Amino acid sequence: MALAKITSIKGSGIHVPGDDIDTDRIIPARFMKCVTFDGLGEYLFHDVKFDQEGSKKKHVLNDPAYNDASILIAGSNFGCGSSREHAPQSLYRAGFRGVIAGNFAEIFFGNSINLGIPCVSMSKANREKLIKLIDADPETEINLDLEELRVTAGALVLPVEIREDARSSLVNGMWDPLDELVSTSSSVEAVAGNLFYR
């Protein structure tokens, strides 16, 4: 099945403040007791949103104004910590289709691209402009354009960066590499056969 070509993401945004948001914060480990990823969306940022009694904390993630947000705006080193794909899976299942941050932890970045979630880097100064805009009007439409490598929102036009291999996989609809990996089986066998170990 051909994959969708992901050339741009359009939607409203939400800003989750803080640098070094780790995967335990994105999805606490206790919710990883599952054998499928279905249903993970519900637990996204669980402990950021709820206190120990299960009551909603005062947090932007609980603000109904941002209910429809599909683009997450975060600080630097987003997604550090565990290699768990549960983190981007829960983002995706909660309706997020793109992430704008200062930069990303490597494994999280790769996992997200494999699911077709573009993760782009934007300077702090520009993120602040964007955040100001959505704070003023949460419904502002953000257009994350992977062909022009820019984000437009209201009157703002802001440059973003993403690793070229990731960008090209997304815009060419090849972000899931499995079919390509399967197609080279004879070269794989040759490399395996030449190795000094079995």
Partner 1 sequence: MTSKNLFQKVWDAHSVGTLANGQTQLFVGRHLIHEVTSPQAFGMLREKGLPVRYPERTFATVDHIVPTNEASEPYSDALADAMIKELRKNCEDTGVTFFDVSSGNQGIVHVVGPEQGLTQPGMTIACGDSHTSTHGAFGAIAFGVGTSQVRDLLATQTMALNPLKVRRIEVNGNLASGVYAKDVILHIIRKLGVNGGTGFAYEYAGTVFDDFSMEERMTACNMSIEGGARVGYVNPDQKTFDYLKGRPYAPTGEHWDLAVDQWKSFSSDHDCKYDDIVLIDASEISPTVTWGINPAQAISIDESIPTTDGVNPTEKESIEEALEYMKLEGGQPIKGTPIDVAFIGSCTNGRLSDLEEVASLIKGHRVKEGIKAIVVPGSQIVSKLAQEKGLDKVFTEAGFEWRNAGCSMCLAMNPDKLVGDQLCASSSNRNFKGRQGSPTGRTMLMSPTMVAAAAICGEISDSRLVFNS
Identified binder of partner 1 from the candidate list 22, 141, 145, 148, rule CB under 8 A: 22
Q: 142 with 3: CB under 8 angstroms?
A: no
Identified binder of partner 1 from the candidate list 58, 125, 147, 197, rule CB under 8 A: 197
Closer to partner 1 at the Cβ: 5 or 10? 5
Strand partners, 11: 142
CA nearest neighbour of 74 among 98, 49, 101: 101
Write down the least CB distance from residue 172 to partner 1, Å. 7
Q: 142 with 11: CB under 8 angstroms?
A: yes
Q: Which of residues 49-68 bind partner 1 (CB under 8 A)?
A: 51-52
Write down the least CB distance from residue 109 to partner 1, Å. 9
Q: 41 with 95: CB under 8 angstroms?
A: yes
For the chain, how many helices (H) and strands (E)? 8, 8
What DSSP string describes 86-112?
A: HHHHHHHHTT--EEEES-B-HHHHHHH
Write down the least CB distance from residue 151 to partner 1, Å. 22
- The site string for partner 1 over 129-158 (x = CB under 8 A, - otherwise) reads ------------------------------
Candidate ranges 15-23, 60-68, 93-101, 141-149; the one touching partner 1 (CB under 8 A): 15-23
- The site string for partner 1 over 75-114 (x = CB under 8 A, - otherwise) reads -xx--xxxxxxx-xx-------------x-xxx--xx--x
CA nearest neighbour of 93 among 38, 32, 144, 49: 38
The answer to whether 196 contacts partner 1 (rule: CB under 8 A) is yes
List all residues 6 or more positions away from 46 whose beta carbon is below 8 Å from its beta carbon. Answer: 27, 28, 31
Tokens of 2: 């051909």
Residues at the contact surface with partner 1, assessed by CB under 8 A: 18-20, 22, 24-25, 28-30, 32-37, 47, 51-52, 76-77, 80-86, 88-89, 103, 105-107, 110-111, 114-115, 163-166, 168-169, 172, 174, 176-178, 180-182, 184-185, 187-188, 191-192, 194-198
